[in-house]
Structure 1
Amino acid sequence: MISGLRTTGEVILTGFEPGELLDRDATRFNWAAHHPPLYYLLGLPIEWALRHRPIFTRAFALRLFSLLLSTVTVVIAAMIGRMLFGTDDSAEWLLLPCVMVLSPAFSVHQVCINNDQLLILLYTLLLYLLLKWQDKPVSAKRAVVLGLICGLGMLTKMLFITAFIVIAVYLVLNAKRSRQSLRSLFRTFAIVVAASLAVCGWWFIRNVMVYGRLLITATTYLSAKHLPVEMTPLDFFLSKKFLGWIGAGWLTLRNSHTDLLLAILVLGVSAAGYVKTLLLWLWRNQPLFTPGLFAKFRLLFYALLIHVSAVLFVVSTGSIKVGRFRALHGRYFFPVIVAIAAIWALGVCKLLPQKNRNQFVATVVAILIALEASNVYVTAMLNWYPF
């Protein structure tokens, strides 16, 4: 991956064709050369400045760069938590960033040298702005901002393409609430797309000029022996690998007894909170959500549903050429990890007693931090994933 940083710089700055970087036997396939370039270009100055230093020093510096990006993501998640749960006398909003850090192996991945860190940051920023502007008309200036973020996301990883569907749903909901005309709705979405293409359009033009095709992924030129075996979606969802992944695969890079216990704990506590809320609604007619909170969680749920559905579709149909189940590591769900964490955190909040609530929040946060520290240690020792 270190060499991949240099390679990407050569690809962009000198026009070196990355297709030539694929060995004939595909045993040394250069992934970075075929990814969109933004993350690697941002890391290129670090690699260049330390080019005479040992490989471990350079890798450590690049890990710190990824850690910086992930730290910004956690800060934005805290801002979303404040928006969802925050009041002057409540600490419940702290649960969202803490739960996010716990899931799915976020702390392990945030020090990896790959473009997921920038992808997660940009997607989290996009969701934050959508939530912040949810009750306001979408002006042309805001549409441009959303488009610029999408453009940067597309220059980071093609997985960001699901964000356009999320924005379309957001615009429809906003137009319905503000009684915006259909023509105005299409005009706003066109501004988003145009602003995005202004940022990333050159990359697709370059793909056509170099490869003769518009879309290029890291696995487009992977040899046939590495491609997934053909299967139907039913075969995929009933496979042992998929069923095992449901247990804990979304929580980590691998399935393990420790991760399964963590999954049961987090999901169990969150589910108990939702059961408690449902019972109170049935017996005491207490509302499940306030109107404002429901609207925000509806948007997060739509974003989660859209992204996860797209990922599972391309995996089940074999469109992701990285082996049948590599996409089930859970990291392909990372762009919407803040939505996953928000849903879990809400369940935990519903379970907490009203009396001494902040003390209980502090206890839960401390437990989550301890569990995450344990999970990072176990995962790092048993399954080191440096890049």
Structure 2
Amino acid sequence: MEKTNQTLKRGYLICLFLALTIWSMATTSGSGPDEAMKYDICNYIASHGKLPDGTDPALRNPIWGISYGFTPILSYMISGVFLKIAFLFTTNAYWLYVAVRFTSVLSITGMAYLMFQIGEYLFQTNRSRFLFVMSGTLLPQVMYLGSYLNNDSFALFTIAWIIYAWLRGRDRHWDWKSCILLGTGIGLCALSYYNAYGYLLMSIPFFFISYWKERQIEGEGKRTDMHRMFRMAAVIAIVAILLAGWWFIRSAILYDGDFLGLRTTDKYGEMYAQPGFRPSERPTPYHQGWSWYQMLFTSGWLRTSLISFIGILRTCDWSLMGRGYLGIGILFLAGIIGYLAGGWKRKIFSSDRLLHITFLICMVIPCGLSIYYSFYSDYQPQGRYLMPMLIPFLYFVTTGLTLVLEKIPQKVNRMLYGGIYMFFILISAASFYYVHALI
């Protein structure tokens, strides 16, 4: 049975990789959000063999007055390597874009692999594990992120890495390998996307609380235990700093102490953006005197963000068919209700408060950042900004659906699981058809 499950997992990963590759090849060059600007970074790295300075006029967008060189670009660095290899064979723009998109293809495939590993810790049955993975990786927005050049897909991969390291570390009492694994995940995540930083923040309390809780249960000596705990914490920190620290030191040197690059981005936007596109001139809800309620509900921010979390594809100019939204929405809602109702009776939350609270906070942080950014900086109700909450959210959904489905007779239960699997496959295929029928 175990051999069959492993074969199914490998088969799924291969099929997902092929599907993402086909999607990336079928997408028009530069059609993803700001993809041409991101390609400029990869092209600079491949052509010059060095990292770009965000202030370089050659990278500056003539409309917005900025480049993507100010903030972490590890995924673009990897894409730059693929582009360098592609230059050996062709200068055709189509194939060059396919090359840089390969990082996104690998990132979502890698996320799927890690979600299977995470599922081993979180769920009792393979049916639930497959539901967890398929609902995440076949979500139209996730498939789309895996088909064009962006930081979001790499951020999802690093988030999955961190969550896996949390669960593995807790299970193995934070051995050396688990600590190195977490430090590596934190370092990679730090070089991905700022809206994923909630996982960096929550790694601190999760490590210390889970470590101390497990050691208290084992009854080890307090002094020895404290020494080892801080030694393992130092290992995590050192690995993370070695991987990511250089970037922030470099940014601080280049941009007068602005190690995040955000202040400099706004500065150059004010200096070089076309009239009407400068940060101070954007018609944000704050500048228009709106209330938070008006932005979230009256303007449709909340509705658009939730729908696009499922999948408003291509250059965000069209929506997936309504029945698909409805079906996914019903499944997600049923999962949450099932978790709240069944989980309360089964005391699932109280059985692992640390993980559940950590997951909830990791869901709240990207939502809060997206709301804050739209209100004060740039009104963008985009579901991809909420993507860092994906894995924790799907944990709650899958747990709830599992609690609901286990109450159904075994024969019907299998059919329903199979039906849900097929539904996500069809939704993914339909979204591919619709997006490329427009190109």
TM-score with structure 1 setting the length = 0.81
Does residue 248 in structure 1 map to residue 307 in structure 2? yes
Alignment match, 2:70: 34
CA RMSD of superposed structures (Å): 3.5
Does residue 62 in structure 1 map to residue 115 in structure 2? no
Alignment match, 1:73: 111
> For residues 149 and 280 of structure 1, do their structure 2 counterparts lie closer, same or farther at Cα, with a shift above 3 Å needed?
closer
Cα deviation for residue 152 of structure 1 reads: 1.8
Work out which of the residue numbers 111, 135, 144 in structure 1 matches 2:147: 111
> SS at the partner of 1:53?
coil
**For 2:80 and 2:339, how far apart are their aligned partners in 1?**
50
Cα deviation for residue 150 of structure 1 reads: 1.0
- Aligned pairs (5 A) from 1:228-243: 228=282, 229=284, 231=286, 233-243=292-302
Structure 1 residue runs without a partner (length 5+)? none
Cα deviation for residue 322 of structure 1 reads: 6.4
Structure 2 residue runs without a partner (length 5+)? 1-37, 217-221, 271-276
Q: Kindly indicate whether the alpha-carbon contact (under 8 Å) linking 1:7 and 1:33 is maintained by their aligned counterparts in 2.
A: no
Alignment match, 2:27: none
> SS at the partner of 1:119?
helix
Q: Kindly indicate whether the alpha-carbon contact (under 8 Å) linking 1:154 and 1:161 is maintained by their aligned counterparts in 2.
A: yes
Work out which of the residue numbers 372, 378, 398 in structure 2 matches 1:345: 398
> For residues 348 and 255 of structure 1, do their structure 2 counterparts lie closer, same or farther at Cα, with a shift above 3 Å needed?
farther
Cα deviation for residue 102 of structure 1 reads: 3.5
Alignment match, 1:101: 137
Work out which of the residue numbers 418, 426, 437 in structure 2 matches 1:362: 418
Cα deviation for residue 369 of structure 1 reads: 0.7
Alignment match, 2:261: 216
**For 1:118 and 1:257, how far apart are their aligned partners in 2?**
24
Q: Kindly indicate whether the alpha-carbon contact (under 8 Å) linking 1:148 and 1:195 is maintained by their aligned counterparts in 2.
A: yes
Higher RCO (CA 8 Å, separation ≥ 6 residues): 1
Work out which of the residue numbers 232, 237, 250 in structure 2 matches 1:206: 250
> For residues 28 and 351 of structure 1, do their structure 2 counterparts lie closer, same or farther at Cα, with a shift above 3 Å needed?
same
**For 2:343 and 2:154, how far apart are their aligned partners in 1?**
41
Cα deviation for residue 72 of structure 1 reads: 1.7
Per-residue CA deviations over 1:108-128 (Å, capped at 9, x if unaligned) read: 111111222222111101111
**For 1:62 and 1:47, how far apart are their aligned partners in 2?**
6
> SS at the partner of 2:147?
coil
Alignment match, 2:193: 157
**2:360 partner amino acid:** L
> For residues 163 and 287 of structure 1, do their structure 2 counterparts lie closer, same or farther at Cα, with a shift above 3 Å needed?
closer
Cα deviation for residue 148 of structure 1 reads: 2.0
> For residues 333 and 363 of structure 1, do their structure 2 counterparts lie closer, same or farther at Cα, with a shift above 3 Å needed?
same
Alignment match, 2:35: none
TM-score with structure 2 setting the length = 0.72
**2:101 partner amino acid:** R
Q: Kindly indicate whether the alpha-carbon contact (under 8 Å) linking 1:8 and 1:32 is maintained by their aligned counterparts in 2.
A: no
Q: How many residues align?
A: 371
> For residues 323 and 379 of structure 1, do their structure 2 counterparts lie closer, same or farther at Cα, with a shift above 3 Å needed?
farther
Moved more, 57-66 or 247-256: 247-256
**For 1:280 and 1:306, how far apart are their aligned partners in 2?**
22
Aligned-pair identity in percent equals: 16
Does residue 126 in structure 1 map to residue 188 in structure 2? no
Does residue 5 in structure 1 map to residue 51 in structure 2? no
**2:269 partner amino acid:** S
- Aligned pairs (5 A) from 1:258-277: 258=320, 261-272=323-334, 275=337
Alignment match, 2:122: 84
**For 1:2 and 1:241, how far apart are their aligned partners in 2?**
32
